[in-house]
Amino acid sequence: MTAVKKGRRKFPLIKGLFFTANLIVVVLFAMGYVAAFIPPDRNWIFAFAGLAFPYLALANIAFAIFWLITGKKYIALLSITVLIISWSRLGGYYRFHTGHGQPADSTGLIVMSYNVRLFDLYNWNKNKISENASGLFQLLAEHKPDLLCIQEYHAGRSGKVDICDSIIKYTGLKHKYIAYVSMEGKDKPYGIATFSRWPLTGTGIVSFDDNPINFCLYSDILIGKDTVRLFNVHLESIKFSREDYLFVTDLRNNQEDQDVFTENSLKILQKLKRAFISRARQSRKLSEKINQSPYPVIVCGDFNDTPSSYTYHKITGKLNDAFRSKGRGFSQTYAGALPSFRIDYILHDKNRFTTNSFSRIREPLSDHYPVVANLSLVLKDK
């Protein structure tokens, strides 16, 4: 009898520990939900919860199932309630669409956004492009975009490989706007590039204070009788080094030396914090430029941030996310070594465009996957 009573006493203790853990997860999940509204440069703690938002959602699902199985339905409601409240936010990570979208009409256009990682420059051999770079050009030729936004663009090497001419050759996009990173008064051979099937009537740059590497291009494009403003943006990255990636991908073995583990962990957290804060400032400036546009807007680019972030929320504003309209599944766009997220986006004016289809092209030619949307421009009432 004594052994039975001890066993009974242990079971409530285990449930109590689970309940405490459940409460902590619910609080962190709530913080992740409101992270979209709290600027990281004012309070960065919420940004970390926002980064973990999809994993916290999975933890809440697991807790809800546990409590339902153990007959504690009222406790299960704790996790179920926060999941229901955040359902729309979770839709930024996963979509249940099963259809293939409606065909584009005569004013339809194919938009592609792609961070090409300098066209795999560091694997070139004596000015001969790598196999991955060749695959990038073939991909562009296959999908035939009408509007192409490239981040981490590179001009080529020593004048022997001209990337711009190659893109025009493979896509037929003759109208372009390219801006290069300028440091200490000198242009570097890398930057951002926009290519269009239609003429550009105006262009400009949205620069960010104290950051010459990240910026945004905008191009006014004449499509029939309508002018559209296309934003091509590349926001602040975390700037992980090779050692950082190795540390994160092998955490279990790296915990043996506690001092080294603590030092490297703090360094990574500092890099994340710095990037959160920088992107918050960049997104506010970009949002202002988007709102000031006299034309219908399309925004493409590598935001380096997730759908639960302040950055995404600020830039999206009243725009539609093509993935949320016609995407399917998870559609992660980062193809690197770390846990993958959707950080590349195609957004558009909700009144002047409709999304016919959206796809993420899972080709490992860069550390990002390209995203493609088929949009229809809604004609103005006469």
Put residue 279 in one of left, alpha, beta given phi > 0 → left and psi -120 to 50 → alpha.
alpha
Q: Tens of pLDDT along 257-302? A: 677 777 888 988 999 999 999 999 999 999 999 999 999 999 999 9
**pLDDT at residue 100 is higher than 60:** no
Whether 208 is in a domain gets the answer yes
Residue from 87, 95, 75 nearest 33 by CA = 87
In this prediction the pTM is 0.91
CA dist., res. 37 & res. 314, Å (int):
8
Assign 162 a pLDDT band (cuts: 50, 70, 90).
confident
325 and 358 in a single domain? The answer is yes
CB 344 within 8 A of CB 373: no
Token readout for 56 is 């916290």
b/e sequence 123-162, b meaning 16+ C-beta within 10 Å: ebeeeebbebbebbbebbeebebbbbbbbbbbbbbeeebe
356 and 320 in a single domain? The answer is yes
202 and 330 in a single domain? The answer is yes
pLDDT mean over 37-42: 97
Assign 216 a pLDDT band (cuts: 50, 70, 90).
very high
20 and 160 in a single domain? The answer is no
pLDDT at 240: 75
**pLDDT at residue 97 is higher than 80:** no
Last residue of a domain, one of 55, 90, 125: 90
pLDDT at 250: 65
81 and 194 in a single domain? The answer is no
pLDDT at 125: 62
Last residue of a domain, one of 50, 68, 90: 90
CATH of the domain at 319: 3.60.10.10
CA dist., res. 150 & res. 178, Å (int):
9
198 and 248 in a single domain? The answer is yes
Whether 146 is in a domain gets the answer yes
Whether 329 is in a domain gets the answer yes
Q: Tens of pLDDT along 169-206? A: 999 999 999 999 987 777 788 999 999 999 999 999 99
pLDDT at 12: 77
Domain of 86, in residue numbers:
2-90
